[in-house]
């Protein structure tokens, strides 16, 4: 009986210290935050900038040191980066994009991890019956777009489109999730959908060319690989076709319109979550995933003009031109 009581007391102590570690990482008010960003493109850059600014605003620039590492769209490199953060025992890891989050989760079970630019945490982390809170040492923000509204946008702006190509990177689990939702929505509206999967930047232009040749319009979800080579996608099409995109970044280079979030604001919200964790005000294991507060209808004037799409009609529907 004594041994059982001792074992129970030791387990309780372990749980208490683990909870303390996940709640606060104070080093005398000075913090080191590791940032693993999958790739350089407008949306992820904006999220990182918003995250950093929020922590500076909350903690003071002199009190937080950022170790920003970019994986250059090399997924295995994400794990190398997050392993390095774990070995340095940084106070918190911000994982920008799904592969970065997946890598961080494999690197540490004790350092608080916040994801951002991650669409669906249940899909990304293979959590069945996901209820909105990851638990453990993980939380963050989601860039999940209003997919049903984006499908409705496509049929509203392109009523003559009978076939739609769904172009995405097969290696991005959250892109697969979005495509499945969009495909279901469009199919219910009587539109024929075909998936066009590319593996990386090496084959995206060839696949994009095929998708454009075989369809009336294209849809590109919130997809990091597609976003990083959006201009190449548009240039690859010998016959230009209208593209609806999942967010503003790729729309600037290849799309006609999007219903998009502000990635800067999303990153800023993530930074405010980080500040609460670092100050010991919140326990990361109990923090539910946060979502974008609003979405904006935006259109690309140059591409709309090139394709003969009436931009005055778009503005009458509440669309705002994307700033160049």
Confidence grade of residue 15 (pLDDT, cut at 50, 70, 90): very low
What distance in Å separates the CA atoms of residue 299 and residue 281, rounded to the nearest whole number? 41
pLDDT digits (tens, 9 = 90+) for 47-87: 999 999 999 999 999 999 999 999 999 999 999 999 999 99
Mean pLDDT across the chain: 92
Confidence grade of residue 204 (pLDDT, cut at 50, 70, 90): very high
**pTM (two decimals):** 0.81
Q: What is the pLDDT of residue 26?
A: 47
* Domains along the sequence of the chain with CATH: 25-143+263-291 (3.40.50.2300), 147-260+296-321 (3.40.50.2300)
What distance in Å separates the CA atoms of residue 64 and residue 47, rounded to the nearest whole number? 17
Q: How large is the average pLDDT for residues 222-238?
A: 93
Q: Could you tell me whether strands 257-260 and 296-299 are parallel, antiparallel, or unpaired per DSSP bridges?
A: antiparallel
Name the token pair of 38. Answer: 């999958």
Q: Does the pLDDT value for residue 24 go beyond 70?
A: no
Q: What is the pLDDT of residue 276?
A: 98
Q: How large is the average pLDDT for residues 240-251?
A: 96
């Amino acid at each position: 009986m004594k041994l059982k009581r001792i074992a129970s007391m030791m387990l309780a102590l372990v749980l208490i210290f683990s909870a303390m570690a996940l709640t606060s990482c104070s080093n005398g008010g000075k913090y080191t935050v590791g940032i693993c960003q999958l790739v350089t493109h407008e949306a992820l850059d904006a999220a990182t900038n918003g995250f950093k600014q929020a922590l500076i605003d909350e903690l003071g620039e002199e009190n937080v040191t950022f170790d920003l590492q970019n994986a250059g769209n090399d997924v295995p490199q994400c794990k190398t980066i997050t392993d390095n953060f774990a070995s340095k025992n940084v106070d918190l890891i911000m994982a920008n994009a799904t592969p970065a989050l997946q890598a961080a989760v494999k690197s540490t079970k004790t350092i608080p991890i916040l994801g951002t630019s991650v669409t669906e945490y249940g899909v990304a982390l293979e959590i069945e019956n996901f209820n909105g809170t990851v638990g453990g040492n993980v939380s963050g923000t989601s860039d999940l777009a209003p997919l049903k509204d984006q499908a409705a946008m496509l049929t509203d702006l392109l009523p003559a489109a009978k076939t739609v190509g769904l172009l995405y990177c097969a290696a991005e689990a959250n892109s697969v999730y979005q495509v499945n939702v969009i495909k279901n929505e469009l199919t219910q509206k009587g539109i024929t959908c075909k998936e066009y999967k590319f593996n990386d930047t090496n084959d995206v232009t060839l696949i994009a060319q095929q998708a454009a040749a075989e369809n009336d319009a294209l849809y590109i979800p919130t997809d990091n690989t597609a976003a990083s080579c959006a201009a190449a996608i548009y240039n690859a099409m010998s016959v230009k076709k209208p593209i609806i995109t999942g967010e503003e970044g790729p729309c600037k280079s290849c799309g006609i319109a999007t219903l998009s979030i502000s990635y800067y604001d999303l990153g800023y919200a993530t930074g405010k979550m980080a500040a609460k964790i670092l100050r010991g005000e919140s326990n990361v294991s109990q923090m539910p995933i946060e979502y974008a507060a609003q979405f904006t209808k935006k259109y690309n004037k140059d591409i709309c003009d090139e394709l003969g799409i009436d931009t005055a009609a778009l503005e009458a529907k509440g669309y705002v031109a994307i700033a160049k």
